[in-house]
Amino acid sequence: MAMLVWFLHAQVSIVGLKWPSHVKCLENERQALLNFKQGLNDDFGMLSTWTNTDCCQWRGIQCNNQTGHVQMLLLRGSNLRGPLLSGSLPQILTGVVNLTILIHLQNMEYLDLSSNYFDGSQIPEHMGSFKSLRYLNLSYSGFSGTIPYELGNLSKLEFLDLSFNFRSEMPTGFGFLDLSGNYGIYGEIPSQLGNLSQLRYLDLQNTSLSGAIPFQVGNLPILHTLRLYGLFGLKMKDAKWLSSLSLLTTLDLSSNNLIYSHNLLQSISELIPNLRELSLAGCSLSDDNISTLFPSHSNFSTSLSILDLSDNMLTSSTFQLLLNYSLNLQELYLSHNNIVLSSPHYPNFPSLVILDLS
């Protein structure tokens, strides 16, 4: 994700800035943006600057200083996912968005329309024609319908976030793939995802996918984050695949019943020395299962800083076991278990910042 840090930082601060430009925008691109605006409801004035002749001076637009081509269209809404600050107003666009109109922006590299409300809008097949696109974020925006497979034609795309919309099919071919919160995605996990050798981030949590994870050893070799929270009936055709993910640093399998998944737990155990975050909350785990994860002959990870084992069937025995392995933990979540401790002092947790035993 290091290569995406700039992107993620940029999307927080970029809306509202005016970018210096040495040339004016091209008229056909200006007209495309005005046509795009016509289909939207701008009740909060996000597009109030879209009036003068130079679209490079409009809010949310950045142009190439030499050619005048639009390179960025960043209109992320605000205040949709939390309480409003005192005296502040939401900043969102509504209506049915027509992305096909933007086809004239062939030099666009970054497109962020996240956290708006385009209820019923669809992602058109023509989105696969934006050959320069490197960053695409349409999350939390009410898109529906299917995800066009033409998105796989975006060979330069490095970041794709379509989370928390409602869709039924899945694209392939990216380094960052977040489809979380889309209960409209159902069926089995496509085995074709295993061919994405450059995939580094895979988030399928809170979807309606089921069946065995189809990946095999050699699939997804550079994956560093895997989130499969809440997949119904989670199992793996090849448990060795998981332990082969030598670069994995974040693993979330919460809300999956793993009490009888001995081979899977053994695979997770082999990953622990490299993991920074492990979440197995609500997995019906017992003390014996935890002993499989942390066998007495092994050394606890020097990198693991977050461990979530809440909402299982664990007792004080698990807590005592973790005392032998947990010198570097910063966050330990053990709430909603059967853990009763006699002392409030835990000298074996020198780095601990959060301990939840509620």
Please give the pLDDT value at position 198: 66
- Beta-ladder partners of 91: 78
Give mean pLDDT, residues 269-274: 87
How many degrees, rounded to 5, is the angle at CA 135 between CA 133 and CA 141? 115
Tell whether 200 and 242 lie within a shared domain.
no
The lowest-confidence range among 1-5, 13-17, 26-30, 335-339 is 1-5
Residue 248 within a domain: yes
pLDDT over 70 percentage in the chain: 70
Tell whether 109 and 145 lie within a shared domain.
yes
Tell whether 64 and 163 lie within a shared domain.
yes
Please give the pLDDT value at position 326: 61
> Does the structure show a pLDDT above 60 at 175?
no
| Element holding 316 (H helix, E strand) | helix 316-323
Query: Which is higher by pLDDT, 110 or 19?
Result: 110
pTM: 0.59
Tell whether 51 and 193 lie within a shared domain.
yes
Residue 231 within a domain: no
Q: What is the largest CA-CA distance in the chain?
A: 74
Tell whether 186 and 70 lie within a shared domain.
yes
CATH assignment at residue 309: 3.80.10.10
pLDDT band of residue 48 (cuts 50, 70, 90) is very high
Residue 142 within a domain: yes
Give mean pLDDT, residues 263-288: 90
Tell whether 271 and 332 lie within a shared domain.
yes
pLDDT band of residue 231 (cuts 50, 70, 90) is low
Give mean pLDDT, residues 299-327: 82
Cα–Cα distance for residue pair 291/197, rounded to 1 Å? 33
Tell whether 186 and 54 lie within a shared domain.
yes
Tell whether 153 and 48 lie within a shared domain.
yes
Query: Which is higher by pLDDT, 287 or 175?
Result: 287
Domain that holds residue 132: 22-79+91-170+181-212
Please give the pLDDT value at position 78: 77
Cα–Cα distance for residue pair 335/358, rounded to 1 Å? 5
Q: What is the pLDDT of residues 66-87, one digit of tens each?
A: 999 999 999 998 744 444 344 4
Tell whether 279 and 191 lie within a shared domain.
no
Q: What is the pLDDT of the chain when averaged over all its residues?
A: 78
Residue 224 within a domain: no
Please give the pLDDT value at position 203: 74
Give mean pLDDT, residues 273-293: 91
Token digits of residue 234: 């989670």
> Does the structure show a pLDDT above 90 at 105?
yes
Number of domains in the chain: 2
Residue 274 within a domain: yes
Cα–Cα distance for residue pair 329/353, rounded to 1 Å? 8
> Does the structure show a pLDDT above 90 at 36?
yes
> If you search the block for the tokens 């895979």, which residue do you land on?
202
Residue 12 within a domain: no
Give mean pLDDT, residues 282-290: 92
> Does the structure show a pLDDT above 70 at 190?
no
Cα–Cα distance for residue pair 142/162, rounded to 1 Å? 10
Cα–Cα distance for residue pair 230/255, rounded to 1 Å? 5
| Long-range contacts of residues 316-322, Cβ cutoff 8 Å, at least 24 apart | 316/340, 316/341, 317/287, 318/287, 318/290, 321/287, 321/290, 321/291, 321/294, 322/290, 322/294
* Spatial CA neighbour of 304 closest among 351, 235, 234: 351
Residue 84 within a domain: no
Residue 186 within a domain: yes
Tell whether 97 and 245 lie within a shared domain.
no
Tell whether 290 and 141 lie within a shared domain.
no
Tell whether 192 and 263 lie within a shared domain.
no
Query: Which is higher by pLDDT, 206 or 118?
Result: 118
